[in-house]
Structures are given as C-alpha cells and as structure tokens.
C-alpha cells in the first residue's frame, strides 16, 4: 500500500527473518528505488532456526532517530519477553522524537481472559510461561503464538518513552469483529 503513497522524498526499509519473503519483496518492488528489503538474521525456532543472532541481542541496522514511523505486524505475537524488551529498546532508539509506531499484539486483559475462559477465543494460548507476563500456544515451540499481559506491554511503552495513544482490540479472543483485525493494534508516539 505504501508504494502508492510514498514519493521519492520518503523511503521504506523492510526487515524480516524469513529469507523467502525478503527475496520476494526485493523482486516485486525492485522498480521502486526508495523501497529496500533486508534479511534480519534473527533466530526463531519456527521461522529461522539457523540464524546468526538472538532477538534479545539484535540491533536494528539503522542509525538512531532515523524513522518517522515504525510498523510491526505479527512480530511480537511470535517473540518471547527478553526479545520483545530488546526490540522495544531498538524501536525507541530508531524513532525520531514525535515518531509513531503501530504494533500488533495478542493482549491479555480482563475481556480477553473472559473470552478465553468461555472458549470464544480463535487463538489458543493455554500455557503460561515462567515469566508470568505471557501465555503461549505450544511449549515445544513457544514462538508459534504468544499473548502478552496488557499491563506488561504498557510498562514497556512507558519504559522506552513511547506514549500509547490508541489501542484497537482485535477479535482473536472472541470479541466482536468490528475492524476486521484479528490482532490488537497499539499506536504509540515517542515522547
């Protein structure tokens, strides 16, 4: 969608841990010189088991304050707490003051837990991890699906000086589908 929005004054930097997805984007968007795609060689038992880096140690390959906007779709739903904490630090580092972030989650709050408790949830996360801040679908491969306690996620925003300005809740836990969004979406602004 951004290919019709951004002109030559703007640019897009895409990262992913799945090599085939990056290669596809590089080929499909090669006619757009202001769109770049690169592999983030970050370990995931499910998506990139032979990677060079752990997410908790990964540094985004960009200078501090480089971006007006950071977007993560279905990233934190596949990462464990130490990894999410590092990514929050990196997102804050690369965002300009006043820069915005849009990030998707499966957020655990009273309404979500009620939906899970009554079996209305589409996404199943029956196992609580030792850290106690998240639930997972599969203990043999925890990164497949991860849901986070909303207060924990809010604390990461606060710690990294990104102010939560809006949360739109998705239907993953049995909520009414209002926005056609499975995942919860948080919009933040770096202070």
3-state secondary structure of 4: helix
- CB-count exposure of residue 112 (10 Å: 0-12, 13-18, 19+): buried
pLDDT along the chain (191 residues), means of 10: 85 96 96 96 93 96 97 97 98 98 98 96 94 94 96 98 98 93 98 94
Within the chain, what is the greatest distance between any pair of CA atoms? Answer: 50
Task: Specify the pTM.
Answer: 0.95
HSE-up (13 A, CA, CB side) for residue 102: 8
What are the Cα distances from residue 101, in Å, to 64, 86, 91, 108, 130?
15, 16, 8, 20, 29
**pLDDT value of position 2:** 83
Q: Going by CATH, does the domain composed of 65-190 fall within 1.10.3470.10?
A: no
**pLDDT value of position 179:** 87
**pLDDT value of position 8:** 84
The separation between the first and the last C-alpha atoms of the chain, rounded to the nearest angstrom, is 27
**pLDDT value of position 5:** 85
**pLDDT value of position 31:** 94
């Amino acid at each position: 969608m951004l290919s019709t929005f951004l002109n030559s004054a703007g640019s897009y930097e895409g990262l992913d841990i799945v090599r085939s997805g990056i290669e596809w984007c590089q080929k499909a968007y090669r006619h757009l010189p202001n769109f770049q795609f690169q592999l983030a060689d970050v370990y995931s038992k499910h998506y990139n088991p032979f990677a060079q880096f752990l997410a908790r140690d990964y540094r985004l390959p960009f200078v501090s304050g480089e971006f007006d906007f950071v977007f993560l779709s279905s990233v934190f739903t596949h990462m464990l707490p130490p990894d999410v904490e590092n990514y929050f630090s990196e997102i804050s580092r690369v965002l300009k003051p006043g820069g915005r972030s849009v990030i998707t989650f499966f957020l655990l709050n009273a309404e979500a837990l009620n939906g899970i408790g009554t079996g209305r949830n589409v996404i199943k996360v029956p196992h609580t991890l030792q850290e106690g801040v998240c639930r997972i679908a599969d203990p043999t491969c925890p990164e497949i699906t991860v849901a986070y306690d909303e207060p924990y996620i809010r604390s990461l925003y606060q710690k990294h000086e990104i102010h939560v300005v809006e949360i739109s809740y998705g239907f993953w836990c049995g909520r009414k589908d209002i926005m056609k969004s499975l995942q919860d979406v948080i919009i933040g602004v770096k202070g």
